[in-house]
Every structure is written in C-alpha cells, then in structure tokens.
Chains A and B, each alone.
Chain A
Amino acid sequence: MSRLSPASLLIVGAFMVPLFIELPVVLSFVGVNLPMEVSLGMGVVAFAMVLVWSEVSEKPEAADA
C-alpha cells in the first residue's frame, strides 16, 4: 500500500518546487554556483525518491500486524 495518496503526493511535490527554484539563489549568497538546471534536476530526483519511499515503505499499523 502506498504511504501517500495521489493528492498528498501532489501537495508534497508542489511545495518542493519553490524550494528547488530558490536553492541556487540562496546558495549564490554563500558563493556556491549551482546551475538552475541542476537544482531543478535535484528536485526531480528528490520527488522520485519520495515516490519510491511512498510505495515501498510500510504503514506503521501494517508493520505492527
């Protein structure tokens, strides 16, 4: 069973977008030059990981049973 419903995945994914769009800007203040494309790519990877986690991890109740 998936941990996150499609609606939750949608919301979680949406909240990740501003984080990865602003990441290169924030890093530029500390002198790190992260290209926008790389940052967005990292976002896609992070979202894919959430997706995988949601599919493979077991619900706490299910684990107890």
Chain B
Amino acid sequence: MSTPGETAGETVESAREMLPDNSFLIQYPHVSRVVRSLFLTAFVAFGIGAFMGVLQALHRTGIARIVESADYYTFLTLHGVLLAIVFTIFFLAGVFTWANTRSLDRPPVSKRFTWFWVVTMSAGTAMAGIAMLAGLLPSIDISADVLFTFYAPLQAHPIFYIGLAVFVIGTWLAGIDWFRQFLAWRREHPDERIPLQSFMVLTTMIMWFIATLGVAVEVVVFLIPWSLGIMPAPNPLLTRTLFWFFGHPIVYFWLMPAYLLWYTVLPKIAGGRLFSDPLARVVFVLFLLLSTPVGIHHQYLDPGIAEGFKFIAMTNTMFLLLPSLLTAFTVVASIEHGARQRGGTGYFGWLKALPWRDPAFTGMALAGLMFAAGGFSGMVNAGMNINYLVHNTLWVPGHFHLTVGTAVALSFMAGAYWLVPRITGRKLYSRPIGLFQVVLWFVGMVFMSAAMHRGGLAGIPRRTAEPQYPQVAFETVAGSVGSLRLQLAFGGVLLFVSALLFLMNVGLTAMNNKPARGLDSALPPALSGPEQSPTVLDNLKLWALIAVVLVILAYSLPLYSIVQGAGLYPAGQEASPAVIAPLLEVIA
C-alpha cells in the first residue's frame, strides 16, 4: 500500500530533509543511534529466546524432542535470561533514552558516557551469554544451567556471574546518565514540574537502584567468590532471599516502561489525550514505594522464614494491585476519550472508532487486555494459602507469560512499530503484517497460557523436560491432559511464528528505502495536567527515602533471622554441579 503523494525513487537521505523539524531523528540523530543499537541487541536476544521457547513447548509436551532432555536446563536458562533480562532491559533502556531526551528536550550530558554504559551492558550480556551457550558444548568446561533465578546451591561458571554484575553496573550507569540529563534540565528550569515521561524514567530508576542492591550483594559478595572457589557455599536461603529482593521489583522494571508507553504513547495513537497526569504520577510513586518490600511472596514455601514475615509481604503485595487498577482505569479512559474525538459514540460503540488497523494500537490494547487476565492469576499466586496449590506448577509460567511475556513483550513489539520509524526515518515495512503479527501473538498466548494454567491446576510441574510419570495420572477439570499438551504446543508454535514475523517486519523496516512520514514527536497534553497535581509528588528524594524505610522494615528482621538460623556459610553445603575445581587446578 502506498500513501498518496509518495514519489518513486525517493531515498531516505533526501527525505530526511523533509521530516518535520521537531521530529526526534532530526533533533537528536546521535540519541537515535544509541536507541537503535540498544534495540538491535534486544531483538537479537528476543529471536534466540523465542526459538528456545518453541523448543521447550514442543519438548515438554512430547510432540517433538529435537534436543536431549539433559540439555533442557541450558535451553531454559537461555530462554529466561535472554527474554526476561536481556530483551526487556535493552529495549526499555532504548525507550527510556528516547523518552527522557524527548520530554526534557535536551540530549544526555556526554556522548562518551552514554556509549560507555551501552558498551558495559553489552559486554556483561556477552559474558553471561557465552557462559550459558557453552553449556551446549560438552568439550568446553563452562556452563551456567542455573535458570534465570540464579541462587545457591545451583552453581554457574564465574563468567556468568561476573557478566551479570557487569550488566547490572551498566544499568546503574544508564540511570546515572538519565539523572544527569535531568539535573542539567533542572538548572535551566528551576521551577517547572518534571515532564511526565522523565518523571516516569526517574522513579523507575530509583526503584531499580534500590532493588538491585539485593542482587548485587548476592552476586558480588556470595556467588562470585564461591564460584571462584575462594569462599565456601553460601546459605541457600540467604541467596534466595537476596535474589527475590530483586526478583520481584524486576517485574516492575519491565512493566513501568510498558506503562510509560500506555500512558504517553497509546493516547496519542488513539487520537486522544492522557486522562490524568496527576494519577499517572501517583501510580509511579506507588510502584517506587511498594515494588521492593514484597519479594518474600516468592518464598511462601521456603522453610526458615516465619509466617508473619510472609504475611507482611502478602499484605504489601495486595496493596500493589492498586496502582495497576488505577492504570487500567486511566488508560481505558484515555483511549475512550480518543475514540470519542474520532467520532465514536454510545456505551460500547466507541470501541469501533479506535484505530484497530494500527498494529501499534492493537498490540498495546491486546497486551493490556491480557494483563488484566495476568492480574487475576497473579492474585492467586499472591495469596499465601492458595499459592500452595499452584507453587512450582505450570500455572506459574502460565501467569508470567501473560504479564512479562505479553503485557510487556507485546507492548514493546507494538511500541517498536511506532518508535522504530521515528529513530530510523524509515517507513514501517508492512502494517498488515504488523497487525497480523500482534493478533497472532495474542491468539498463540491464549492457547499456551490457558493450557499452562489448567495444567498447573492439574498438578503438572514447571521446569521439567519430561513431565510424564507412569505412576501419576494428572486430572484436569475439563478436557484431558493430552488435549492440554496439544494446546500448549500449538500456542507455542503460533507464538514463535509471530516472533519471526515481528523480527522480519522490523528488520525490513530498518532496511526500507521508503521514508517515514509525519513523524512529529510532540505528545498531546493531558486532560488534567500537571498543574493539578500536588508538587510533593515531584519530591523524588522524599519518595526514595520512604521506599528505603519500607524496605528496611520488610527485610531487616527476616534477613537477621536467616543469618541467625543457619549462618552465612553453613557447613557441609556443596555446590551443584561441581565445575570449578577442575578450572582451579588448571590455573594453579
């Protein structure tokens, strides 16, 4: 399909001059390059991760066993780390770099520093990636089959942990870069409200600084020295607790950039305006406060943590539903406003007036819808008593493929359809393929996730290559386990095809010689603007302080009692598998 007024033989270079002066690419060519390079890494990780995903789906349902069951954990680790850590964080770093620059209307302070953190993050990723991939080569004595929840007693090669540490340091430097950019803006605008997108970036990063302290201590103090053979094996419960100190807030590190897109980009695409700027700020402050003091809800079944602490974590978790419900309200109100601007009428008739043909809109709308379903199954996970029913079953991957696997991943794909033309100046290769792709992701995920949820209720475990046991018959409420298996594998295949279509569409966009059109980067002002929100909301120091206090309250006693109980290094704790001793012999 060609847009009217497009002349043949027009090149991207000549068309760049025709882009509006306020388009992002013209104003910030260098920042656009940074974003492009971050997106490239994100999409490569996404492609490899998705391939591992379909292998797992076919393998554990017994449909096609292309890999050895013994290698399953290597694939599963690659899948979890590449998708949940590399794809998500590189993409969000690109979105944040774009959003902070766009909303502050000034570039980062130093080009050198920006590239420095990009390289740091990439180097860390490469190290961790090599350690994981080496697990597939028996001739090399390096492996990291510890899953993306890397705690003791499973042990990986030191390269894996060092790579993770370098990667996290890279994200800290990125956060520092965005804060410096903000402070430079602040000097010139001492009395203005923080622009909304920048506010979202900064609150998210404060949350991330607090959250990553847990994983930094776990990796640097315990796992690296242990994997190098310098120190004994750490207390597993302690490393688990430190991991989940970071492991829960990381889910908001994924979600908050998706929310940024929903709050600021989606209303524009829908033809409307954000319903309420103050509400958006309240939501991000609530996430900053409540994301971290809840991690123990991943440890309801861990012996060695008193029930009372688990109960506190559960209460905080239930409060955390509030900002997500506020988001659902604000986002739907904003797109309804957009639909009515486009001539939509009636109680539900306005739904028809939305730009459903636009993959960026439809992708984000479907992602939001699936997030609602994910929220419901998340409430089940969060309840201390019913968690026992679903813990470590397939229900759990069923849940988080709705949240991170769709609410986040599909919003990012949809966001890419909108953002990639803006940072390349090239027209989206195909809107129909884009639309088909996001809908296919939705359909594939309905199949896979529904089967996982129901399989989990029937007791089928997660994280296992061959969940078929001759002595056990899993009983389902409706349908048979056989049909659930088919459903899971079928959904996995649809998802993989969708992922390939996405990568192809974005790749061809990056090489497209047709110039993008009309890319003004202004976002419409909110219906209820920042002047209506109390200035205390912009007091980032205050919120950071309260967040730290809440974390201390939630974690000091549990950590103290864990260390009291079994010490930092309980005697007789062995690594599994033992891979380091041979390496040390070579070095020595």
Contact = CB atoms under 8 A, between A and B. Distances in A.
Interface string A1-13: 0000111101100
A58 interface: no
Interface in B381-407: none
B497 interface: no
Interface in B447-500: 447, 450, 454, 477-480, 483-484, 487
Given A11-B356, A18-B450, A28-B477, A37 B483 contact: yes
Interface residues of B, number: 21
The binding surface of chain A is classed by DSSP as helix
Contact of B446 (A21, A25, A36): A21
B256 to A, nearest CB: 27
Contact of B435 (A7, A28, A34, A35): A7
Interface stretch (B58-66, B90-98, B210-218, B436-444): B436-444
Interface in A1-49: 5-8, 10-11, 14, 17-18, 21-22, 24-25, 27-28, 33-37
Given A7-B435, A11-B356, A25-B454, A17 B443 contact: yes
Nearest to A7: B357
B356 A8 contact: yes
B477 A10 contact: no
A5 B452 CA distance: 33
Given A21-B447, A21-B450, A22-B450, A14 B478 contact: no
A10 B443 CA distance: 10
B56 interface: no
A24 to B, nearest CB: 4
Given A14-B439, A36-B483, A7 B478 contact: no
Given A7-B356, A27-B478, A17 B447 contact: yes
Nearest to B357: A7
B503 to A, nearest CB: 20
Nearest to A19: B446
A37 B454 CA distance: 16
B122 interface: no
Contacts of A10: 435-436, 439
Contacts of A28: 477-478
Nearest to B444: A17
B509 interface: no
Contacts of A24: 478-479
B479 A36 contact: yes
A9 B43 CA distance: 29
Chain A contact patch, size range: 20 to 34
Contacts of B484: 36
A11 B446 contact: no
Nearest to B451: A21
B512 interface: no
A6 to B, nearest CB: 8
B447 A34 contact: no
B502 to A, nearest CB: 16
Contacts of B487: 21, 36
Interface in B327-386: 356-357, 362, 366
Contacts of A36: 478-480, 483-484, 487
A24 B478 CA distance: 6
Interface centre among A14, A24, A35 (most CB of B within 10 A): A14
B497 to A, nearest CB: 15
B446 A17 contact: yes
A11 B361 CA distance: 12
Nearest to A27: B478
A1 B446 CA distance: 32
Contacts of B439: 10-11, 14
B478 A34 contact: yes
A52 B362 CA distance: 25
A24 B436 CA distance: 27
A54 B483 CA distance: 32
A63 B477 CA distance: 48
Nearest to A20: B446
Q: Of residues B478, B479, B484, which shows the largest number of chain A Cβ atoms within 10 Å of its Cβ?
A: B478
Contacts of B479: 24, 35-36
A34 B450 CA distance: 16
Nearest to B450: A21
A5 B447 CA distance: 25
Contact of A14 (B442, B450, B477, B483): B442
A5 B435 CA distance: 13
29 contacts: A5-B357, A6-B432, A7-B357, A7-B435, A10-B435, A10-B436, A11-B356, A11-B362, A14-B366, A14-B439, A14-B443, A17-B442, A17-B443, A17-B446, A17-B447, A21-B446, A21-B447, A22-B450, A24-B478, A25-B454, A27-B478, A28-B477, A33-B478, A34-B478, A35-B479, A35-B483, A36-B478, A36-B483, A36-B484
Q: Which 6 A-B pairs have the closest CB atoms?
A: A36-B479, A28-B478, A24-B478, A36-B483, A14-B439, A7-B357
Given A17-B442, A17-B447, 10 more contacts: A7-B432, A7-B435, A8-B356, A10-B436, A10-B439, A11-B356, A14-B443, A21-B487, A27-B478, A37-B483
